């Protein structure tokens, strides 16, 4: 699933967006959401890959609770996305590259904060090198 998220990140890069991709699967492994960053394209600061994929998953499952789902994303969710993941009750979050400057978990601890009513299982570093290469390549090309 992370390979599919990476393909979404590459789509974002091709569109001039920060290359982040996200895939959400249900308990049976069916894809219920798949997206990439679209903030520039849509002129919408909330159109992060995770937010778009979450909206797709809500529609696909007909529920605002995404229990028994796994969210794969190439870069650690920001605070906005981490908050939405908690509210959606996603069971598991897997990311490639951590964001030590702005990460919703690494910096702010949102996904494991004792004050939230849901704490997803977190796994980091899956296909980290590949995820990092897409990000670095994008920013190198922009310089």
Catalytic residues: 50
Secondary structure element (H or E) that encloses residue 34, with its range: strand 31-36
- Region label for 105, one of left (φ > 0), alpha (ψ between -120 and 50) or beta (otherwise): alpha
**Residue 136 and residue 117: Cα distance in Å, rounded?**
35
Using alpha carbons only, how large is the chain's radius of gyration in Å?
A: 14
Name residue 124's beta-bridge partners: 95
């Amino acid at each position: 699933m992370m390979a599919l998220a990476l393909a979404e990140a590459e789509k974002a890069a091709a569109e001039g967006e920060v290359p982040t991709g996200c895939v959400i699967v249900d308990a049976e492994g069916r894809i219920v959401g798949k997206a990439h960053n679209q903030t520039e394209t849509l002129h919408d600061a909330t159109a992060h890959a995770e937010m778009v994929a979450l909206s797709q998953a809500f529609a696909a499952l007909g529920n605002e609770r995404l229990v028994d789902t796994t969210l794969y994303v190439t870069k650690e969710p920001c605070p906005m996305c981490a908050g939405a993941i908690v509210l959606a009750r996603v069971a598991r979050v897997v990311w490639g590259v951590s964001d030590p400057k702005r990460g919703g978990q690494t910096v702010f601890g949102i996904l494991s904060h004792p004050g939230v009513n849901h704490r997803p299982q977190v796994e980091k570093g899956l296909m980290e090198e590949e995820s990092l290469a897409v990000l670095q390549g994008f920013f190198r090309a922009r310089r």
